Structure 1
Amino acid sequence: MQFNWLSLGTFVIAAHVLGAIAACHAILNTRTSQGAIAWAVSLVAMPYFTLIPYLFLGRSKFSGYVDARRLESELLRTHAHPSAWDTRASSTGRPAETLGHAVVRALTGLSGMPFLPGNFVRTLVNGDATFAAILEAIDAARHYVLVQFFIVRDDALGGMLKELLIAKAAQGVRVCFLYDSIGSFDLPQRYAADLLAGGVEIHPFATNRRFVNRFQLNFRNHRKIVVVDGERAFVGGHNVGVEYLGGNPRLSPWRDTHIEMRGPIVASVQFVFIEDWHWATQQLPRFEPPPADKPHSPDDDDDMHCLVVAPSPADKQETGSLFFVEAINAARERIWITTPYLVPDEAVFSALRLAVMRGVDVRILIPSRRDHYVVFEASKLYAHDLVRAGVRIFRYRPGFLHQKVVLIDQAAAAVGSANLDNRSFRLNFEIMVLTIDHAFASEVEAMLLRDFEHTYEVDRSEYRDAPAWRRVAMHVARLFSPIL
């Protein structure tokens, strides 16, 4: 009995010593003060519960990866991007007239890419429309297909995609397939093996090139990209799985949005894929651009200006957070945001409050169903704080809302993979496409107005009338906001 107490005492002392060491490490290396405080307090107070999560989620552990990724990205952007990309030219024309010269300069500075004119963009509402368009485009491919998803399932939809890609490879079409090693952790090895045997080049995205680092839950590649022949590109919120078609009864009907693009902006999307492919494989693939005399869009009158913003944890600036801050600051009439996860940082929270003070119609659309308990509880507290600040928060009733859309005033809209949370701001690789065009903005507005018809507005009673234990759970969940 004495031995057991001695062992327990030794364990407690060792845990607290290791917790204090890890807390010092977090304070010295975590990039944000919120993250440093959250880790330090939890590691000192509860080392038994937080030491193991810190191994998985402590971002400073992978600072070497960030440095290496940043260096390679800078070299790749210097030598591989099209010579026609001139971000200075973006400060004139329709984007500047719509958003203002200063906003355009800031956004192009953040992205490292210019606004490009002459594009056609259309929304793809929900999974049936999205995958019908993607599979049709792949089936029509003549030269190459680039595919990248965060989650890939070996189910009916995943099987359909696999068979189509193998069929295209058999026709001589080059197929490159990139999937995230953690997001697709349950993807059977036989799925990739079948694609490899069928002539598809397939690789996992992992921060350690030699093997999948199972202690690595941060720095996930959350992008969803499909590019066909350099002529058509798709980005948005859908992954590959039947749940994105409404196959999960608990979350069905699934509400999500993708976009299809044609025109010069496809080269920007393709370049983002090439950056990720180069990191995963150490190979720089060459893809011929579409012929210059080939029309980029179905209608010669289409002249949408588009900008790709691709935040990553290797950015010198916190591109994801700053993109949302600048988009909110640019709004003069309205800023409508849809996001499945509402965990904004202080900069975004302040920008939203200031927008309300300017008289801007600020609305945020979030789910009423949860897929992650901790994030959902933290979101409730942030929703309460935003409602108190004058932001209108709406919860979508029918099913799980997963779309990531930003509507700015009457002529600007962004669609992509980034959520309004710290994970998208700082820990994930994301992609957003900002489009300047009155007709496209009207299309997005009509889509969101249909969504608002199936919502209820959140008021202060959601927090005030919650039982005491639920309010405590909200506050505890918010402690983890830097990694949610």
Structure 2
Amino acid sequence: MPFDLLHVGPLVLLAHILGIIAAAHAILHTRTSQGAIAWAVSLVAMPYLTLVPYLFLGRSKFAGYADARRVENELLRTRAHPHVWDTHASSAGLPTQQLGSRLVQSLTRLGGMPFLPGNTVRTLVNGTATFEAIFEAIENARRYVIVQFFIVRDDALGDMLKDALIAKAQQGVRVYFLYDSIGSFDLPHRYVAALRAAGIEMQPFATNRRFVNRLQLNFRNHRKIVSVDGERAFIGGHNVGVEYLGAKPPLSPWRDTHIEVRGPAVASIQFVFIEDWYWATQQLPEFDVPAVDSVVPSVNHGANERAANNMHCIVLPSGPADKQETCSLFFVEAINAARERIWITTPYLVPDEAVFAALRLAALRGVDVRILIPSRRDHRVVFAASKLYAYDSLRAGIRIFRYQPGFLHQKVVLIDSSAAAIGSANLDNRSFRLNFEIMVLTVDRGFALEVETMLLDDFAESREIDSDEYRKSNALQRMLMHVARLFSPIL
């Protein structure tokens, strides 16, 4: 025993010394004061458990990264932005009428992109509808296809995508494929090699392009983008894996939403991809963007699509290199803009203080505030923290619903009867500050009604929770929820 203590004692002391050093680093470099406190307390109190996670997750400021990425984005937006931005930079008449001039101004400044008229947007309410539409668009591609996902799996759906892209590449269609190096960490080399052998430009997105910190797991590219010939684009919550088709228990059936966009806004979505591709490769993809008139829909593509001239869209990309905290501020502005209702669906309810305050204030001024979250968990700590935020929300008059059939992964914001945003951003700190995300806000009463109908169907399959659930929780469950929420700034 004395021998063991002689060896264990120095190790314990070393762990605490390293914990104190790491805590000081967290205080200096973590982006928010709440995150700094969470890391500092855990590193000092429990260095054995938190030192290794801090190496991978703790750097919310990556030395030199944000500046380098920001400079590149500003150069691209100055020199290589879509020409439709110049044509329609001031075309915000309908958005101004529906949302107000102040919100339109703040969103265009926040995202760095204008509202564009003349679009058609339709909802794709599950994985089957989403990938049927994506594969149909790829099959009809004539010039180029761009693909970007956070997660790509080598399974049945991944093989279908691989085969579809290889077939188009063999027909002479240019294909660009960007995947996140951490989100797709288990994607085998043979999958990538097969695509590259067919002439497809395939690259991983990594934050350490010019840096030596190979342990960095923050700053993930969480966007999901597919665009074909500059005419059709798809964004939303689905990744490439059979679980997104509801084929992987215990989370199935999977509930997610994508949208298909036709019209000038496709150029903005593609430009978000161009920025990411340029960061990953230092090269611009070679494809011609069609003239504005050729991307405005002129035929009816389905009963769910509305007249093109009624749909104004703004693309809102966000990420850790932004001058402002774009994603968090978008949610704050959207919530503050609501006069009748704000309905939000998110897999993770871990808002920062600004967003949570905006939600509570909206409820206090009589807005119908509803948040739809999962009843099943995919991350224990996040789920526990979400439960406590849900109970705190109830006290402010916010209605919280839990989706019952399966795991809910969709990211939707419905504002009054005039606008809806759909994309990749969750209501959590990782989306607000650490991930690259994309949302498309569509101003159109017909589309808002379509989203409302979709969400009413989801609410019908959900259970509204009340404060009794928290009061009936035992002491240990309450303690776990409160401990989990301590880590919410770094989840």
TM range (shorter): over 0.9
- Which residue type is aligned with residue 444 of structure 2? D
Matched residue, 2:232? 232
Q: Within 5 Å, which residues of 2 pair with 1:66-465?
A: 66-85=66-85, 89-90=89-90, 92-209=92-209, 214-294=214-294, 296-299=296-299, 301-303=307-309, 304-465=311-472
Identify if the C-alpha distance between structure 1 residues 86 and 460 changes in structure 2 by more than 3 Å, giving closer, same or farther. farther
Q: 1:90 to 1:250 in 2, by over 3 A?
A: farther
How far apart are residue 90 of structure 1 and its match?
A: 4.3
Equivalent AA in structure 1 for residue 252 of structure 2? S
Name the SS for the 1:17 alignment partner: helix
Stretch moving more, 70-79 or 156-165: 70-79
Q: Give me the identity figure in percent.
A: 75
Give distance in 2, aligned partners of 1:350 and 1:91. Answer: 32
Deviation at 1:294, TM superposition (A): 2.3
Long gaps (5+) in structure 1: none
Q: Is the 8 A contact 1:337 1:364 kept in 2?
A: yes
Poorly superposed stretches of 4+, deviation over 3 Å: 86-92, 210-214, 298-301
Contact kept, 8 Å, 1:206 with 1:212, in 2: the verdict is no
In the TM superposition, residue 185 of structure 1 has moved relative to its aligned partner by 0.7
Cα distance in 2, alignment partners of residues 291 and 434 from structure 1: 23
User: Which segment drifts farther, 65-74 or 116-125?
Assistant: 65-74
Amino acid of the structure 2 residue aligned with 1:34: Q
1:464 Cα deviation after fit: 1.3
How much is the aligned-residue C-alpha RMSD, in angstroms?
1.6
Check whether the contact 1:411–1:438 (CA below 8 A) recurs between aligned residues: yes
Distance in 2 between residues matched to 1:271 and 1:12, nearest whole Å: 51
Aligned twin of 2:4: 4
What is the one-letter code of the residue matched to 1:75?
A: L
Cα distance in 2 for residues equivalent to 1:358 and 1:471: 30
In the alignment, the residues of structure 2 paired with residue 26 and residue 165 of structure 1 have an alpha-carbon distance, to the nearest angstrom, of 44
Partner Cα separation in structure 2 for residue 63 and residue 12 of structure 1: 30
Give the Å deviation of 1:21. 1.1
Following superposition, the deviation at residue 124 of structure 1 comes to: 0.3
Higher deviation after alignment, 288-297 or 365-374: 288-297
TM-score relative to the length of structure 2: 0.96
Q: Can you list the C-alpha shifts for 1:272-325, whole angstroms capped at 9, x where unaligned?
A: 000000011110123211244425214494220000001101001000100000
Give the secondary structure class of the aligned counterpart of 2:178: strand
Q: What SS class does the counterpart of residue 318 from structure 2 fall into?
A: coil
Secondary structure at the residue paired with 1:63?
A: coil
Instruction: Return closer, same or farther for 1:61/1:9 CA change in 2, 3 Å cut-off.
Output: farther
1:305-363 deviations in Å (ceiling 9; x for gaps): 00000110100100010000000000000000000000000000000011011110000
Is the Cα contact below 8 Å between 2:82 and 2:271 reproduced in 1? no
CA contact (8 A) 1:86 1:114 kept: no
- CA, structure 1 residues 133+213, in 2 after alignment: closer, same or farther (shift >3 Å)? farther
CA contact (8 A) 2:296 2:308 kept: no
Residues in 2 aligned to 1:236 and 1:187: alpha-carbon distance in whole angstroms: 21
- Secondary structure at the counterpart of residue 285 of structure 2: coil
Q: How many residues align?
A: 484
AA in 1 matched with 2:294: K
Asked if the contact 1:90–1:105 (Cα under 8 Å) also holds between the matched residues in 2, the reply is no
Q: Report deviation, 1:86.
A: 5.1
Q: Distance in 2 between matches of 1:401 and 1:196?
A: 34
Check conservation: 1:387, 1:393, Cα contact below 8 A.
yes
**What residue identity is the alignment partner of 2:341?**
R
Q: What displacement does 1:121 show?
A: 0.3
Letter of the structure 2 residue corresponding to residue 419 of structure 1: N
Quick one: distance in 2 between partners of 1:179 and 1:240?
10
Q: Distance in 2 between matches of 1:68 and 1:39?
A: 26
- Over 3 Å counting, the alpha-carbon distance change for 1:72 and 1:478 in structure 2 is same
Residue 56 (structure 1) aligns with? 56
CA contact (8 A) 1:207 1:213 kept: no
Contact residue 227 and residue 266 of structure 1 kept, 8 A: yes
Query: What does residue 304 of structure 2 align with?
Result: none
Q: 2:303 — aligned with what? A: none
* TM-fit CA distance, 1:17: 1.2
The answer to which of 39-48 and 88-97 deviates more is: 88-97
Secondary structure, in 3 states, of the residue corresponding to 2:62?
helix
Distance of 1:305 and 1:92 partners within structure 2: 8
